[in-house]
Amino acid sequence: MTRPLDADARRSVEPVICYSVETLPHPDMALYDKARSTLTKTDEVVVPPREAKCFTVPEGHFFRIVSVEGSQVGDLNLHNVDDVTERFYSGKTRALHGTHITTGERMWSGFPHLRPMATVTYDTLGWYGIDPYGGSVHDVIGTRCDPYTHALLSDGGQYHHCCHSNLIRALADHLGVSRADAEPLVHDVLNVFMCTGFTRDTGQYFMKASPVRPGDYIEFFAEIPLLGNLSACPGGDCSSTHSSDTASCYPLLVEVFAPDPEVMSEWVPPPRNAYNGSHGD
């Protein structure tokens, strides 16, 4: 190929942030902080290693994903309880908030809804920031480990406990539908506690040992009634390998909390997206 004479000039143009989030509807973090001090635990679900479990969270309640026993990452799907086709949109969340999310940022649903499903209200790993490799935690860049990619990379290898398959089994059991009917509802995840980034030299997706330790948690406020589905990834802390039974894996704990209704009396759920849906004439 021929390098143009003005190549350096073209490459040195300064980037512009695609989506200025100043005009996004902002969560009332002061209200959520106030509500956090009034929480009463109402439910909990233990997700076994290399499996997934569903859980529900009423709108206006909180939930935590907690590290227990050992360093473990989780793959999280979210649906609207009342319409499971409204689900988490990892790609738009990434475009709005960046490659990883933390306190004050939100998990957005797909079109035609595009509204906040959950807001991160506390993250004990918030101190991690972006490390010297460009890595950070809770990413929306990886998709989920899956048996199809594994088969491509391993000359037809069959492994049945990738997060994708775990999420399918859990959702099928919860909804009382076949695995074939559940599969199209499973979607790109929030990689909870996973430490990932892109290499600076080749731009490749990388993972490294998660900094999560037992007792760490990420906490969310449910903006709409949620059906969560969480897989304890077969990669364990994702320090070396996944899509196999090789890594040490641990359970994850999901806890659901109700705030004092008095404190939340002025809170209103997010409306449907304001676009009129006509797509022109």
List residues near Zn ion by CB under 5 A.
145, 163, 233
What SS3 class is residue 242? coil
Q: Which two tokens stand for residue 80?
A: 């609207």
**5 CB-contact burial (10 Å; exposed 0-12 / middle 13-18 / buried 19+):** exposed
> Which residue lies nearer to Zn ion by CB, 225 or 234?
234
Closest contact distance (angstroms) between CB of 243 and Zn ion is 8
Alpha carbon 259 to its chain centroid, in Å, reads: 23
CB closer to Zn ion out of 73 and 224 = 73
Which is nearer to Zn ion, 35 or 145 (by Cβ)?
145
Listing DSSP states for 171-199 in one string gives HHHHHT--HHHHGGG----EEEEEEEEE-
Is the CB of 121 or the CB of 136 nearer to Zn ion? Answer: 136
196, 139 Cβ separation under 8 angstroms = yes
Phi, psi angles (nearest 5°) of residue 111: -65, 150
**Angle, CA 174 vertex, CA 103 and CA 224 arms, to 5°:** 35
Name the minimum Å distance from CB 108 to Zn ion.
Answer: 22
SS3 label, residue 151 = helix
Nearest distance, CB of residue 242 and Zn ion, angstroms:
5
By C-beta, is 172 or 258 nearer to Zn ion?
172
Identity of the residue, 233 or 256, whose beta carbon is nearer to Zn ion in the bound complex:
233
Query: Amino acid identity of 162?
Result: C
Helices (H), the chain: 7-11, 29-36, 90-97, 147-153, 163-175, 179-182
Residue closer to Zn ion, measured from CB, 163 or 171? 163
Q: Minimal distance in Å, beta carbon 191 to Zn ion?
A: 8
Provide the minimum distance between the beta carbon of 145 and Zn ion in the complex, in angstroms, as a whole number: 3
Instruction: Give the count of beta carbons closer than 10 Å to the beta carbon of residue 46.
Output: 13
Beta carbon of residue 31, minimum distance to Zn ion (angstroms, whole number): 34
Compute the least distance from the CB of residue 111 to Zn ion, in Å: 26
40 exposed, middle or buried (CB, 10 Å; 0-12, 13-18, 19+)? Answer: exposed
